[in-house]
C-alpha cells in the first residue's frame, strides 16, 4: 500500500486537461491507496526559471470571494472522481484510491473562520496555510535558488487563530510552501504533529521550498512527518529542472531525512501533476520502481512499509478527531 502527500489531479480535471502523472487505473495497479488531493486555487502562471540562480516573483494575493468560487468548483470536481474520501485513517484500503480533501492555500477560508466548520463537515481534513503567495493568514516562500526559506514575517493574528481552530477540529496543518517564520509560529502554537506534505532537505538542495535541518529536527520532535517531493528542481543539488534526473535523487533525500529524523518521520509527497518529476519514474505507475530502488539502497520491509504508508497513517491518527 502506498499513501502519498500531494497531487494536483483535481486542478487538471477542473481545467479539462489530461493528467500528467495520476491515471487512476494505473494508480490502483501500482498499489497507490490515495493521499492528499489538493484543491488549489491557481494564480496566473509566472515565468519558469531558465537559469541558476533564479528568483521568481510571487503572484499577487487572491481575494477570498474569488477563491471561494473556484474552490467550490474544485471540490465538485474531486467529488466527481471515482475515489473515496477519507474521514478516518481506517478509510485507506488496498485496491481502492482514497482522497484526503486538502486546501493548498487557505484563501477559501474566511478570515473570521466562519466557514471552516462547514468545510470540515464536507470532508476537509488538511489545510496548507499558503501556496507561497501571501494571504490573510500567512506568507509563503518565493521560488528562489539558492536561498533560505527565511523570507518574511510569520503568521497573522488570523493565521494563529486558524491553527488553533484546526487543532480543535482535527484538521491537519500543512507546512509546505510556508516561510520559516510561519513554520516556527505553527511549531509554537500547534499541539498536533508537524507535517510538511511535499518538501525536501534544504541541505541537499538549497531551494526556498525545502526544509532546514532545524526545521526537520522540530518535525521529528513533534512526531511529525515529511513527504519527499519528487519535483526535480527540489531534489537536485544544482537546482536544475531536468527530467533526466534519476530516481536515485529521490532516494538521496529519503536517506538524508531518515538519517536526520529517523525512519518514522519520512514518507512520499510526490507532487504528481504539479511538478516535473524524473522521467525514469514517469508517474504513479512508476512507484514500484521507486520502492525497488529503496530496497536496493538497503531499506527492509519494515522501513519500506513506514515510508510508503505507515508513517502517514500514524500522523493522521494523531491529528484527526
CATH number at residue 117: 3.20.20.140
Look at the chain and count its residues: 321
In this prediction, residues 35-56 reach a mean pLDDT of 89
pLDDT at 44: 82
**pLDDT at 45 > cutoff 80:** no
pLDDT at 50: 76
Enumerate residues 6+ apart whose C-beta is below 8 A from 23.
283, 284, 285
pLDDT at 47: 67
User: Average pLDDT, whole number, for the chain?
Assistant: 97
Instruction: Tell me phi and psi for residue 81, to 5 degrees.
Output: -75, 150
**pLDDT at 267 > cutoff 90:** yes
> Which of 193, 267, 293 is CA-nearest to residue 1?
267
In this prediction, residues 48-68 reach a mean pLDDT of 92
DSSP 48-117: PP-SSSEEEPPPPP--HHHHHHHHHHHHHHHHHSS-EE-SSGGG--TT--EEEEEEESSTTS-TT-TTHH
pLDDT tens-digit series, residues 171-217:
999 999 999 999 999 999 999 999 999 999 999 999 999 999 999 99
Contact at 8 Å (CB) between 190 and 167? yes
Query: d(Cα 216, Cα 239) in Å, to the nearest integer?
Result: 20
Q: Is 34 helix (H, G, I), strand (E, B) or coil?
A: strand
Using CA of residue 48, residue 64, residue 70, residue 76, what is the dihedral sign? positive
In this prediction, residues 124-149 reach a mean pLDDT of 97
Residue 272 DSSP one-character state: B
Enclosing domain of residue 34: 2-319
Contact at 8 Å (CB) between 186 and 178? yes
Is the pTM of the predicted complex or chain greater than 0.85? yes
Q: How many domains does the chain have?
A: 1
**pLDDT at 46 > cutoff 80:** no
Amino acid at each position: 500500500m502506498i499513501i502519498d502527500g500531494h497531487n494536483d489531479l483535481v486542478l487538471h480535471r477542473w481545467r479539462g486537461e489530461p493528467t500528467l502523472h495520476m491515471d487512476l487505473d494505473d494508480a490502483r495497479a501500482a498499489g497507490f491507496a490515495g493521499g492528499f488531493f489538493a484543491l488549489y486555487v491557481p494564480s496566473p502562471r509566472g515565468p519558469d526559471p531558465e537559469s541558476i540562480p533564479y528568483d521568481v516573483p510571487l503572484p499577487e494575493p487572491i481575494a477570498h470571494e474569488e477563491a471561494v468560487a473556484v474552490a467550490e468548483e474544485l471540490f465538485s470536481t474531486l467529488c466527481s472522481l471515482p475515489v473515496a474520501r477519507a474521514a478516518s485513517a481506517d478509510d485507506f484500503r488496498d485496491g481502492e484510491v482514497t482522497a484526503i480533501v486538502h486546501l493548498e492555500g487557505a484563501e477559501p477560508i474566511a478570515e473570521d473562520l466562519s466557514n471552516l466548520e462547514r468545510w470540515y463537515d464536507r470532508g476537509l481534513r488538511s489545510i496548507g496555510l499558503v501556496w507561497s503567495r501571501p494571504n490573510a493568514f500567512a506568507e509563503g516562500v518565493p521560488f528562489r535558488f539558492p536561498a533560505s526559506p527565511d523570507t518574511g514575517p510569520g503568521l497573522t493574528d488570523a493565521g494563529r487563530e486558524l491553527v488553533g481552530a484546526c487543532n480543535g477540529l482535527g484538521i491537519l496543518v500543512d507546512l509546505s510552501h510556508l516561510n520559516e517564520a510561519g513554520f516556527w509560529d505553527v511549531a509554537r502554537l500547534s499541539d498536533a504533529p508537524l507535517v510538511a506534505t511535499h518538501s525536501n532537505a534544504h541541505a541537499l538542495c538549497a531551494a526556498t521550498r525545502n526544509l532546514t535541518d532545524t526545521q526537520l529536527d522540530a518535525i521529528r520532535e513533534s512526531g511529525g512527518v515529511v513527504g519527499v517531493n519528487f519535483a526535480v528542481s527540489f531534489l537536485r543539488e544544482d537546482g536544475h529542472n531536468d527530467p533526466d534526473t534519476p530516481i536515485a535523487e529521490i532516494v538521496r533525500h529519503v536517506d538524508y531525512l531518515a538519517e536526520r529524523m529517523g525512519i518514522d518521520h519520512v514518507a512520499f509527497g510526490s507532487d504528481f501533476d504539479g511538478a516535473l518529476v524524473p522521467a525514469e519514474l514517469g508517474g504513479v505507475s512508476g512507484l514500484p520502481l521507486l520502492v525497488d530502488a529503496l530496497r536496493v539502497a538497503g531499506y527492509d520491509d519494515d522501513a519500506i512499509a513506514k515510508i510508503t504508508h505507515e508513517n502517514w497513517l500514524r500522523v493522521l491518527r494523531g491529528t484527526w478527531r
